[in-house]
Structure 1
């Protein structure tokens, strides 16, 4: 099985790019892998299982052995997930991420060829369930994350999970600066999970207006609602306004109405018209190539480490 510590050491920056519905496709994943981080995409972004198999072949050939990840949405409304899993197994995808449900059969299938399986969790209870199911790592989705975010502080969520879990732990939630990557590690995570920052890149398959709105928005422009998919998530205020809705007076949706990928709860389709984003987009001020963004994060990460070293040297960061 792929060693999780070896996986972390293979990266030039301790970052996994979050798989983003409709946005993360082979071009973006390949650019992320070539930049030295783990690129990821939801399998449902491929319009068919046949297309998914073509994508996996393209990515596998292009990344030259660098790790990448496929995200399986295992919610009951996704009737394709088992076929997608078979494609993932056939192509021996190194890292598999599951969301919106636990499936022990995914763990067994991915372990059969030596891959590792991670799972999104928004609280300690779900984390324990995933660990008990045999998952190799957990993605703590804290308040402020893009997509279907939780409500817990990253400090609280990481602390509770680390009290009992010593496996691979990732933090998702408002991370778009190198010092935030380092802060995630200081708080107990092994890797940072970064999504929204990659929307504003040349390789992302997002509308130009979406990219520009990421680059010109801040935390105050994010709205947390369950209207669009039945599950609470974070969205750009500007896209809600453009859809003819009042972001300050949105109705509440029935969680049982969730139908992932259809956006069937309103005439505006999530995530086509209503654009997801986390709260951490303040540092994003331009649309750039993936390599440029990763270089900036890497530089900021190094500067943050140097600052801590200087604080320690001057006695301002006591060590025992």
Structure 2
């Protein structure tokens, strides 16, 4: 299974801490990268492009210090850029991304060959998230290095397709890196992703419940108390189908059984307000019962992953 040369020897486990809107920040990115897991954050988590540049410089500086001191692999980090006409900051944020030479760019809501060309020009990688094979074909045409299969059960915007269906279909048309997301919360889940044919696991909700995450404590507590049956799949929060905590919808004063889909998709104040009061989460919440530090979580995932791989080696 293919892994870009830039990632070989840099990871302790084949995993990415997925970019989480309003929740991923520099501390979470640095701690996951320190532990050999790709850390990431959405550019829009900073309110301005200048603030985005400041975060990039801070992360780069801290990781450079760690690389000089650590004997273990320090993973590269990634930034999520929303490639959609309703994102007014795309052009400015892309310019800063190129200026700071972000190692990995994760694009969402639109496969844009111009973005791919700009990132490739300085040697960066582009991974694009998709929810179906049609979107995957567009990503292949745009020249991306990796395709993220955001399958059923993933937090936030997600597909209804099973990983057992989508990953093999993507592999039929794409020889590059495949990343699998969707209800992955443990090291055993990472091993399953690899056995299914993915090169990397894409883990979001599990990293929501970490000390470094920017999510409010109430959100972390709700995640730890929830089961898969507490996750609601609806387009009514952002205009795009996604998975959210039903109790957070109710706590926001909205009847989860009487929702109206908003008109269009907006990355302005209304979008931020919606995600602040209604919390995204994946169906893997039932495997989450604590709020560790990100480094401790990465170590745990690594131990679980290696145990699962060793166990499969004994099968006959």
Please state which band the TM-score falls in when normalised by the shorter chain: over 0.9
Superposition misfits of 4+ residues, deviation over 3 angstroms:
261-264
Task: Report if the CA contact (8 A) 1:261-1:270 is conserved.
Answer: no
TM-score by length of 1: 0.92
Q: CA deviation at 1:245?
A: 1.9
Structure 1 residues 252 and 11 mapped into 2: Cα distance closer, same or farther (>3 Å)? same
For the 8 Å contact 2:235–2:242, the answer to whether it is kept is: yes
Aligned to 1:318: none
Corresponding residue of 2:70? none
The alignment status of 1:284 with 2:288, answered yes or no, reads yes
What residue in structure 2 maps to residue 258 of structure 1? 265
SS in 1 for 2:107: strand
| Structure 1 residues 45-104: Cα deviation after superposition (integer angstroms, max 9, x where no partner) | 111111111111011111126400011011111111110011111111100011011221
Return the alpha-carbon distance in structure 1 between the equivalents of residues 185 and 258 of structure 2.
Answer: 29
Alpha-carbon distance change, 4 to 261 in structure 1, aligned in 2, over 3 angstroms:
farther
Check whether the contact 2:237–2:261 (CA below 8 A) recurs between aligned residues. Answer: no
Following the alignment from structure 1 to structure 2, what is the Cα–Cα distance between the partners of residues 214 and 13?
24
- 1:34 corresponds in structure 2 to 34
Displacement of 1:5: 4.2
How many Å separate the matches in 2 of 1:236 and 1:261?
A: 22
Whether the aligned pair in 2 keeps the contact of 1:228 and 1:263 (CA below 8 Å) is no
Displacement of 1:179 after TM fit?
A: 0.8
Is residue 300 of structure 2 the alignment partner of residue 296 of structure 1?
yes
Q: CA deviation at 1:295?
A: 1.2
> 1:8: how far off?
4.5
Kindly tell me: are residues 139 and 60 of structure 1, through their superposed partners in 2, closer, same or farther at Cα, counting changes over 3 Å? same
Q: List alignment gaps of at least 5 residues for structure 2.
A: 68-74
In structure 2, the residue matched to 1:11 is: 11
Does residue 205 (structure 1) correspond to residue 214 (structure 2)? The answer is yes
Contact 1:235–1:274 (Cα < 8 Å) also in 2: yes
Partner of 2:57: 57
Alignment of 1:1-320 (within 5 A): 4-64=4-64, 66-254=75-263, 257-263=264-270, 269-310=273-314, 312=315, 315=316
Deviations 1:243-300 (A, max 9, x none): 122223323444xx21035335xxx932100000011121110111001111111111
Give the drift of 1:6: 4.3
CA displacement, residues 194-252 of structure 1 (integer Å, 9 cap, x when unaligned): 00111110000010000111111111110000111100110011101101222233234
SS of match in other structure, 1:145: coil
Q: Which blocks of at least 5 consecutive residues in structure 1 are unaligned?
A: 316-320
Q: What is the aligned-residue RMSD (CA, Å)?
A: 1.4
TM-score (normalised: structure 2): 0.93
Residue-by-residue CA offset, 1:8-65 (whole Å, 9 max, x unaligned): 5410011011100111111111111111100000001111111111111011111126
Partner SS, residue 279 of structure 2: coil
